[in-house]
């Protein structure tokens, strides 16, 4: 039964057991053109109440990472190695029934395009309620007589649906609960999906580009909502996006991914002020600064590689201006730990 305890947000330097820990996660997709390593060696630790941002271009493996945590990787993809430790338990080997109990209740996910994420044939209220029903969230006052108190149970669920909808900022929830998804605007739809995710008070929220499909003003509202959830409920959030600015504003920690490889990790301030990995440096160079006058914009030369046909060694080496001969050698590059918990995967820092 979920507790109603609210976990306080822990400041960065207080040690506490990680809520989620990934160790060398590898997720692959066998395709006709070869084996695609969508996630190759992802490792990080996430504490309660922490906000982690995973940044990368399209196809860098960010979404697959999230799906791997919940073991929702679509066929024919599968997790090929590594561990996903949630509250100390390895999710990779968990039984399916156990996994189902975790999905939605302990770990919830929101997706990119709210319109396609909501089932068009059910009302929004119904979809929120389903989450609760699956995990038996609303406890009946008297367990074995719950049949008799059916009506009571139903209205308790109903109350909770309305409360959650109000929490996420959906106006007139009583009428709105009976509406269908296509009757909502984009921002409202995303709030509805957030409501579904929150309905069981999860410890961890996985957000896959939640604002990409929305326009800027709505974006801000949704990010405010996520912030509020993090503050008030202590929910850890992993935010996946290609928008560095978003991460800079919202997250505590940031991971940079490229072609399935985890390239750099650190606190947002550290990484943005002093990026270590050449790819991160290139990314930050692309962003024009609002305060400076710039002559040129410096994109990273080259194109994102085809994951089925990666060059040997570091996948970024063809485009890297600091590449060395050992970067193209076909052997794994370890994650180097620098001061203050910074992680970089680059030969420049390997001792």
Residues that bind other proteins (CB under 8 A): 70, 72, 74, 100-105, 108-109, 111-113, 116-122, 130-131, 134-135, 180, 182, 193, 196
Grouping H, G, I as helix, E, B as strand and the rest as coil, residue 89 is strand
Given the complex with other proteins, which of 66 and 333 has the nearer CB atom? 66
| Least distance to other proteins, CB of residue 22, Å | 18
- 106, 202 in Cβ contact below 8 A? yes
Cis peptide before 3 (omega within 30 of 0): no
d(CA 137, CA 161): 11
Distance of CA 35 to the CA centre of its chain: 24
| Least distance to other proteins, CB of residue 58, Å | 16
Given the complex with other proteins, which of 100 and 242 has the nearer CB atom? 100
Given the complex with other proteins, which of 190 and 317 has the nearer CB atom? 190
| Least distance to other proteins, CB of residue 197, Å | 8
Given the complex with other proteins, which of 100 and 153 has the nearer CB atom? 100
- 216, 187 in Cβ contact below 8 A? no
Given the complex with other proteins, which of 33 and 231 has the nearer CB atom? 33
d(CA 137, CA 310): 46
| Least distance to other proteins, CB of residue 121, Å | 5
**Nearest to 209, CA basis, from 170, 174, 263, 250:** 250
d(CA 253, CA 142): 44
- Tokens in use for 170? 């959906």
Grouping H, G, I as helix, E, B as strand and the rest as coil, residue 122 is coil
d(CA 159, CA 153): 10
| Least distance to other proteins, CB of residue 175, Å | 15
The 10 Å Cβ neighbour count of residue 209 is: 19
- Tokens in use for 110? 């929101």
| Least distance to other proteins, CB of residue 210, Å | 13
d(CA 101, CA 107): 9
| Least distance to other proteins, CB of residue 172, Å | 19
Given the complex with other proteins, which of 16 and 119 has the nearer CB atom? 119
């Amino acid at each position: 039964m979920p507790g109603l305890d609210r976990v306080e947000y822990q400041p960065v330097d207080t040690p506490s057991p990680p809520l989620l820990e990934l160790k060398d996660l590898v997720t692959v997709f066998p395709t006709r053109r070869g084996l695609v390593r969508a996630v190759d060696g992802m490792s990080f630790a996430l504490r309660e109440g922490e906000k982690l941002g995973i940044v990368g271009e399209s196809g860098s493996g960010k979404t697959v990472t999230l799906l791997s945590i919940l073991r929702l990787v679509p066929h024919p993809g599968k997790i090929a190695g590594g561990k996903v430790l949630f509250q100390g338990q390895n999710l990779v080997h968990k039984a399916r029934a156990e996994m189902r109990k975790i999905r939605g209740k302990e770990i919830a996910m929101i997706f990119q395009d709210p319109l396609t994420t909501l089932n068009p044939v059910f009302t929004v209220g119904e979809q929120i309620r389903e989450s609760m029903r699956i995990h038996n969230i609303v406890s009946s006052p008297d367990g074995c007589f719950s049949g008799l108190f059916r009506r009571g149970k139903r209205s308790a669920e109903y109350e909770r649906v309305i409360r959650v909808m109000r929490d996420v900022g959906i106006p007139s929830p009583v009428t709105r609960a009976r509406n269908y998804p296509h009757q909502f605007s984009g921002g409202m739809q995303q709030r509805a999906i957030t409501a579904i995710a929150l309905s069981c008070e999860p410890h961890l929220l996985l957000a896959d580009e939640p604002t990409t499909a929305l326009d800027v003003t709505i974006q801000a509202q949704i990010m405010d909502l996520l912030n509020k959830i993090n503050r008030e409920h202590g929910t850890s959030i992993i935010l996946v996006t290609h928008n560095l600015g978003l991460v800079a504003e919202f997250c505590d920690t940031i991971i940079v991914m490229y072609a399935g490889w985890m390239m750099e990790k650190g606190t947002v301030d550290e990484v943005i002020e002093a990026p270590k990995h050449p790819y991160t440096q290139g990314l930050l160079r692309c962003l024009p600064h609002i305060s400076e006058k710039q002559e040129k914009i410096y994109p990273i030369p080259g194109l994102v590689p085809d994951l089925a046909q990666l060059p040997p060694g570091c996948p970024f080496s063809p485009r890297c201006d600091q590449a060395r001969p050992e970067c193209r050698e076909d052997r794994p590059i370890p994650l180097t730990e620098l001061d203050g918990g910074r992680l970089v995967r680059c030969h420049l820092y390997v001792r």
